[in-house]
Amino acid sequence: MTAEINRLRALVNQSKRLVFFGGAGVSTASGIPDYRSMTGLNSRRYGGLSAEALLSHSCLMLEPERFFAFYREQLLHPEARPNAAHLWLRQLEEAGRLGGIITQNIDGLHRAAGSVRLYELHGSVRENTCMDCGASFRLDWMAAQTGLPRCPDCGGVVRPDICLYGEAPNPYVMRGARRVIAEADTLIVAGTSLRVEPAASLLEGFAGRNLIIINREPIPAEEKASLVIHGDVAETLAALGPPDPLPEWISAKTRS
């Protein structure tokens, strides 16, 4: 593993515009379960229904009580804190080397860590909106509700600002994610099986030098990778140490 870490450190420090594309495996070290592993949310059924069925637009509309009971029990983790992966990426941004973070996660931990150049493809549990009047509510408010979460102003149902199964991702977020991938010289894909569309197809726009895969299990994209590390994302990134800052003259040229 030492040789792989050294190689990864060299590729990171050679990059001028690195983009990070992450999935559920980025947040497992924060105590948030993934979806598709042997013990993930999709590995079992809940009252006869799958997690995908319960987290669908149809369930929200037709069986909202069931939707919110499952949502609060399984998807809300207000105690979760950013782990070493989130903090390392913030350091990468501070070093001037980060083109953007694209995440499929809805936990909001990248933003909590202080990252700014962030594309949350599926939204965030930390933001909620009344379906009638548009009022906004935070994670702690939603976590404290029981039954249907209703707006205290108009009585409308308050839904999480996440992309449910059967809904399309925010087109502006997707457009931004495509742009930063197209501009990247290095792309790290970490903690994701790349099985969910349209997010998985974003990799087709990468034309940079180095594709790096960090994941516990093998994935098909490894065939095109410059470096593959089979391991925990947080442990791997923590082992790198702080990234070297981008030289000021290169940083200014990159921003222009």
Query: Among all residues, which ones are annotated catalytic?
Result: 122
Kindly state the helix (H) or strand (E) to which residue 7 belongs, with its residue range. helix 2-14
Report whether 40 contacts 33 (CB < 8 A): yes
Which residues, 6 or more positions from 154, have their beta carbon under 8 angstroms from its beta carbon?
A: 130, 132, 133, 135
Nearest to 227 by CA among 205, 200, 209: 209
Q: In terms of C-beta density within 10 A (0-12 exposed, 13-18 middle, 19 or more buried), how is residue 125 classed?
A: buried
Alpha helices in 100-247 (DSSP H): 109-112, 139-144, 171-183, 233-240
Q: In terms of C-beta density within 10 A (0-12 exposed, 13-18 middle, 19 or more buried), how is residue 16 classed?
A: middle
Read off φ and ψ for residue 113, nearest 5 degrees: -75, -15
